[in-house]
Amino acid sequence: MKTFIIISLLFAIVHAQQQNLCGERTRNPQFVNDYSGCRAYLFCNFDAMNTLVSVHQLVCPENTVFNEELSACDGTGGTVCNPAAPCPPGRNLMIAEPTDPNCRRFSLCSNGILLPNVGTCPVGTVFNRNYGTCTTEAVAPCLGFSESPCEPFSNGFYRVFGSCTEHAFCQNGIEISRHNCPAGQHFNPATRSCDSPENVVPPCPWA
């Protein structure tokens, strides 16, 4: 009972602060940290009147982490992130539970301390990672934490992790479509096109 009261009070504090992660950046498009994991981030799309039009839930490619200062996926090792302690210091935030494929469970960041799995959204609703509230899926589509091959602000074709032939077309960091190379060819990340396997250097690790 005591734990429930404490969590309820912290939940009230978070919402008194009017959580709005997309509102913390001024440029459009905006890529912001949602603190639910080292690779997870949000794409915030605003119109000409600075009204939030849509929020996309994205994940950086394997072996990279989201760099908040650069608004980019960083694979250089220059970004320090502890997946067991993703909470920013000095802040109270509600964050998504990344292991929930139904997008209903959430955790609490309390002054930099992670309190995991503090609640579950009611049936028929999902956790909105931007506002830290439970909303209908029409407002916050449940895309889970499926990995996107696109990086923030990226344009062109990018290889899909785990495949030598599948590649995605990215526009401004958002995946638009997916394609497969013809039989006998691999996607070449260097040329961003389909090529003979012997021309792909280093060779595709999933061949």
**Token pair belonging to 196:** 């003979």
3-state helix, strand, coil in the chain (%, to 5): 10, 35, 55
Evaluate whether residue 206 is within a structural domain. Answer: no
Evaluate whether residue 190 is within a structural domain. Answer: yes
Mean model confidence pLDDT for the chain: 78
CA distance linking residue 12 with residue 155, whole number of Å: 41
| 167 shares a domain with 108 | no
Share of the chain above pLDDT 90, in %: 13
The structure tokens 């909303």 sit at: 135
| 113 shares a domain with 30 | yes
Q: Domain containing 191 — which CATH number?
A: 2.170.140.10
pLDDT in tens, 161-172: 778 999 989 887
H helix intervals, the chain? 2-16
Evaluate whether residue 144 is within a structural domain. Answer: no
| 173 shares a domain with 116 | no
Residue ranges making up the domain that contains 54? 2-135
| 18 shares a domain with 52 | yes
- Whole-prediction pTM value? 0.57
In degrees rounded to 5, what are phi and psi of residue 119? -170, 170
Evaluate whether residue 97 is within a structural domain. Answer: yes
pLDDT in tens, 107-134: 888 888 888 888 999 998 988 888 888 9
List CB contacts of 202: < 8 A, sequence separation 6 or more: none
